[in-house]
Copies of this chain bind each other. A is one copy, B any other.
Amino acid sequence: MAPTEVTTRILRRLLASGVHSRAERLLARVHPADLAPLFADLTPEEIRTVVDLLFRQRRAAQTLRELPPEMLPTIFEAVDDARLAAVCGRLEIDDMLELFERVPEERHDPILALLPAEKQAELRKHELYAEGSAGRVMTTNILAVDEKLTAQEAIEKIRAFGEDTDAVLYLYVVDTEGRLEGVVPIRRLVASRPDRPVGEIMIREPVSASVDTDQEEVAQLVARYNLLAIPVTDLERRLLGVITVDDVIEVITEEATEDIYHLAGLDEEDRVFTPPSQSIRKRLPWQFLNLGAVFISAWVVGLFEQTLDKIVTLAVFMPVINGMGGNGGVQSLTVVTRAMALGEIEFSSGLRAVGKELLVGLVIGLVVGAAAGGIAWMWQGNPYLGFTLTAAMVVTLTVAGLLGAAVPVLLKALRQDPALGSGAIVVTITDAFGLFCFLGLGTLLLDRLA
């Protein structure tokens, strides 16, 4: 569909030979959405030239909207305030705000001053909505009509509105106070008799989101009810804007990235082509936290130095306890946090999930622990060593299952992100506790193990 690698090669050659007019024509044929992978393969110098060419084409607004965030700093550097203001002015309010937030702080005021007055006001109003709320993602470019309008009149309104906008998937019916009364899908409008009032064909009590609803919940509503757009209202149900399904897809993708990243202790802005220095800065705090966690395990092992001094073979099996416990905990954690992200469990069913994961951990601990104990027995020729390993694995995997499910349920009950930090907590406790059980039992059976 998008033979980007070929395009990149041709583009490079055109840029190198200085034939900018041909490079410009080539760029004009590339869909804005296809420019991102193309940019990924260009040098900063080449990107600067391409950005110049794109801005000449007045396609910059659409292009900036489609580019991955980590490429924006390079582009902003290459463009002056006046140009950025011109581009911002051509975007819909949600896209404008998103772009504006990524512009370096010190350029905000100069750029804002260059925007038309009504755009300035709109931007300031939009900035009041909380980050990640429906208000931030909605577009205010909507078609709201009175219920007495006929289908034919509504169609004429749409004609006057222009065909270019995102928003005309539904017609919104409001009362004199601007309160949302119903929605009419355009296809239903088309299929209706021309003289019927829209109030008769509208869907009453449509699914809607409040302006302060979390964007993840909005996405779940759109996905659950198979909507193409969802109206956003204030507390008095006055229609403020609409969130379209393409923005919802972006939210779903973003939230999935966030969930995957949080399980690994990563920051969302730490992407594959983020400059190494920035990735390092983002990851270091987490790795230091992790260092503290693993030193708890080291401290636990230190408690049993005397035991290890007598039976050094116990050290051989420490990686078995850690590896299996960590894996079991992460599995339970993944199942539970994913179900939470998809809105599949509430608190009460969360507790049921904890019970299930505990049981699953126990059974897997028994089966895999027996196998591990058998191998250890055969390898080292000591049945007590095998027993110690089996017993420790049963306990460790049970605790791993329990914590893997309980930690996110608890975090969620405390209104924290269930994915962020759960992994570190689960693995730290499981590791330390598992080693404590294994080496503790080893100490008790010291005479048998020697």
Contacts and interface: CB of A to CB of B under 8 A. Distances in A.
Interface of A: 1, 4-5, 31, 33-34, 36-37, 40-41, 66, 68, 155, 158-159, 161-163, 168-169, 185-192, 207, 221-226, 228, 245-246, 248-250, 252-253, 256-257, 259-261, 263-266, 270-273, 276, 279-280, 283-284, 286-288, 290-291, 293-295, 297-298, 301-302, 305, 308-309, 312-313, 315-320, 322-324, 326-328, 330-331, 333-336, 338-339, 342-346, 348-349, 352-353, 356, 359-360, 363-364, 367-368, 371-372, 375, 427, 431, 435
Nearest to A296: B319
Contact of A155 (B190, B223, B290): B190
A257 B260 CA distance: 9
Given A190-B186, A349-B40, A344 B288 contact: no
Interface centre among A163, A224, A363, by most chain B C-beta atoms within 10 angstroms, is: A224
A193 to B, nearest CB: 9
A323 B360 contact: no
A137 to B, nearest CB: 14
Contacts of A345: 40, 272
B253 A323 contact: no
B284 A368 contact: yes
Contact of A331 (B37, B264, B339): B264
A421 to B, nearest CB: 13
A422 B204 CA distance: 50
25 contacts: A5-B348, A31-B225, A37-B344, A68-B344, A163-B187, A163-B191, A186-B186, A256-B260, A260-B263, A261-B338, A266-B331, A270-B335, A272-B339, A279-B335, A284-B367, A284-B368, A290-B324, A294-B323, A294-B324, A298-B317, A301-B316, A301-B318, A308-B308, A322-B322, A326-B326
Contacts of A344: 36-37, 40, 68, 271-273
Contacts of A318: 301, 315, 318-319
A37 B334 contact: no
Across the A-B interface, give the 5 residue pairs with the lowest CB-CB distance, nearest first. Answer: A294-B323, A256-B256, A272-B339, A297-B319, A226-B246
A206 to B, nearest CB: 12
B287 A368 contact: yes
A271 B335 contact: yes
A139 to B, nearest CB: 13
B283 A225 contact: no
Given A280-B360, A323-B431, A346 B5 contact: yes
Contacts of A276: 356, 359-360, 363
Contact of A301 (B295, B319, B327): B319
Count of chain copies: 2
A371 B326 CA distance: 24
Given A5-B348, A284-B368, A287-B368, A279 B319 contact: no
A407 to B, nearest CB: 15
Nearest to A314: B315
A123 B336 CA distance: 35
A66 to B, nearest CB: 8
A298 B190 CA distance: 70
A221 B1 contact: yes
A419 B239 CA distance: 43
A136 to B, nearest CB: 19
Contacts of A33: 224-226
A33 B223 CA distance: 10
A273 B186 CA distance: 39
Nearest to A244: B226
Contacts of A356: 272-273, 276, 279
A319 B248 CA distance: 43
A68 B343 CA distance: 12
Given A163-B185, A261-B338, A294-B320, 17 more contacts: A33-B224, A163-B188, A245-B249, A249-B249, A271-B339, A272-B338, A273-B339, A273-B353, A273-B356, A291-B368, A291-B372, A293-B323, A294-B319, A298-B320, A308-B315, A319-B322, A322-B323
Given A256-B256, A272-B339, A284-B368, A158 B191 contact: yes
A405 to B, nearest CB: 9
